[in-house]
Amino acid sequence: MSRIKRLYNWFEMRLQLEGPVKDAALHPVPRNTASWWYVFGSAATTLLMLQIVTGILLGLVYVASGSEAWKTLDELNHQLYLGWFLRAMHGWGSNFMVAVVLVHMAQVFTFGAYKFPRELTWILGVFMLLMTLGMAFTGQVLRFDQDAYWGLGIGASIMSRVPVIGGALVDLLLGGPIIGGATLSRFFALHVFVIPGTLLLFTAVHIWMVLKLGINDWPMPGRVVRRNTYLQEYHELSHKDGVPFVPDALWKDLFFSAAILAAVAVCAFVFGPYGPGGQPDPTIIQTAPKPDFFFLWLYAVLSYLPPSLETPFVLIAPVIGICILLALPLVAGEGEKSWHRRPVAILVLVTVAVSWGIFTHLATFTPWSPIMDAWSGDPVPPKLIHDASPLVRQGAVVFQAKQCRNCHAVGGSGGMRGPALDTVAVRLTEDQLIRQVLQGGGNMPAYGKNLSPPEVTALVRFLETLKPDGQPPAIDATHQEQKAQNAAPQQ
């Protein structure tokens, strides 16, 4: 017997792991579960491992202090060999992990895999999703830049709206009533010890249950889940038409995990690390902070909500949402798994996904928010004023100097809070333009008190030139009628 074999036996006699590992590796799974649809869970686990490894390496350098954090990130980016790549891997790993976890969840939901006997696996998974989002949020805070600072401020102000205990919650979260020295330490502890520790424990139990209960069989229309027959049916399925988990199912998991890691590396290599953005100084007011992509939808939803609905929404909607997710397997633990027979479930999923996508997309360019430096930074398109009269030219200056551009785009640049004005002369007559400028209306404030009559006149002259070539301007039908009447008696 070789030395290695002897050493192995020495450990095996004491640990006795060979049996359980062999059982786990070779246990039969239904042949059709060895599918490319079943690879997201293992990919999420792989990404978690990547995050732990890169996180530990970052932890060697990072200093969780308000005055040092930004500097250490700067040092990682510029002074440490491949420090930037490490930060980029961790940042992109986080993005991929959130995305893969969401895809995994959508797949499990679509395949009805949360039904008996895998209810607890799903419930644990919901908590793991929340923890993943918690990791993403606390990680964004540790990047202590302007986005982190204001994101934290928004998180804290959401907390503060909880009735009765709001103030205490904020103190608990921030280590005081405001963002201060203790805040970053708390988030460091959360991000590095509390959440990942719990997440790892939950992951272990989650995987344990997957091994013990078996991988969900491929849903077939008509193969209905019943509590008293399912286990027997699954056993038959996996033993009669089963394949050993290793290697028949595992190789796809391994391949996909490797591909995901490669994708993270490519993104990190090409797009680089996130920030850090500007320094987290509340005296800098020229900033438009934004959350990272997984919270963009929330940013958009909160921006569109009327103020009176904000508090009810932020306090009640998440609770209801989480309760629905937790209750799902308990309420719908039996029945059809196939998406062919679950139209409501699929419609709900599609609606949620499309809404999420739309809100996320909107939040990338924040059409509800004026662009505060468009007036001084976005030039008037030269072709609009190249042949303009002196008064129209002054009107364009009024348009910029009075900051109309911050809300109204011209030539594709400027704010999107109000309508783009490239064709406004086709829509509004001179009188309507003057009225709109003076009195406002819709979402627009009245500018009558802020503009002098010459400014309004020049501005409206400029706006009247904003129409596509070949299109007639808007006309006032009553003016035409009056002209016709005035002209008639002379004939």
Partner 1 sequence: MNVRGFCGSILVLCGIASLGCNAPGKPTAGAEAVRPDEVKNFSKLYSQNCAGCHGADGQHGAALALANPVYQAIVDEGTLRNVIVNGEPGTLMPAFAQSAGGMLTDDQVNALVSGMRSRWYHADAVQGLDVPPFKTDKQGDAAHGQQVFTSHCASCHTTGVQQQNAKASSITDGSYLALISDQSLRAIIIAGRPDIGHPDWRSAQPGHPMSDQDVTDVVAWMASQRQKTPGQPYPSQP
Q: By the criterion CB under 8 A, which residues form the site for partner 1?
A: 74, 77-78, 81-82, 84-85, 88, 145-146, 262, 265-266, 268-273, 275-279, 281, 284, 286-287, 373-380, 382, 385-394, 396-402, 405, 430-431, 434, 452-458, 460-461, 465
The string of DSSP letters for 34-61 reads SSGGG-HHHHHHHHHHHHHHHHHHHHTT
- Collapse the DSSP code of 225 into the 3-class scheme (helix H, G, I; strand E, B; otherwise coil) and give the result: strand
- Residue 93 Cβ, how far from partner 1 at the closest point, in Å? 14
Give whichever of 92 and 114 is closer to partner 1, judged by the CB atom: 92
Using alpha carbons only, give the angle 103, 145, 133 rounded to the nearest 5 degrees.
25
Q: Which is nearer to partner 1, 69 or 129 (CB)?
A: 69
DSSP annotation of 32: G
What is the smallest separation between the CB atom of 19 and partner 1, expressed in angstroms?
33
Residue 266 or residue 358: which is nearer to partner 1 going by CB? 266
Contacts with 373 (C-beta within 8 Å, 6 or more apart), sequence order? 286, 406
The distance of closest approach from Cβ of residue 144 to partner 1 in the complex, given in angstroms and rounded to an integer, is: 12
Q: How far is the CB of 389 from partner 1 (least distance, A)?
A: 4
- Nearest-angstrom CA–CA distance, 442 and 339: 45
CA nearest to 113, candidates 100, 123, 98, 127: 123
For residue 247, say if its preceding peptide bond is cis, omega within 30 degrees of 0: yes
Given the complex with partner 1, which of 88 and 135 has the nearer CB atom? 88
Bridge partners (DSSP) listed for residue 454: none
Contact 450, 428 (CB under 8 A): no
Q: Are 428 and 475 in contact (CB under 8 A)?
A: no
For residues 318 and 379, which CB has a smaller minimum distance to partner 1 in the complex? Answer: 379
Q: Least CB distance from residue 109 to partner 1, whole Å?
A: 29
Nearer to partner 1, 194 or 446 (CB): 446
Residue 193 or 269: the one with the smaller Cβ distance to partner 1 is: 269
* Nearest partner of 169 among 184, 155, 181, 189, judged by Cα: 155
Work out how close the CB of 16 gets to partner 1 at its nearest, in angstroms, rounded to a whole number: 36
Rounded least distance, CB 90 to partner 1, Å: 13
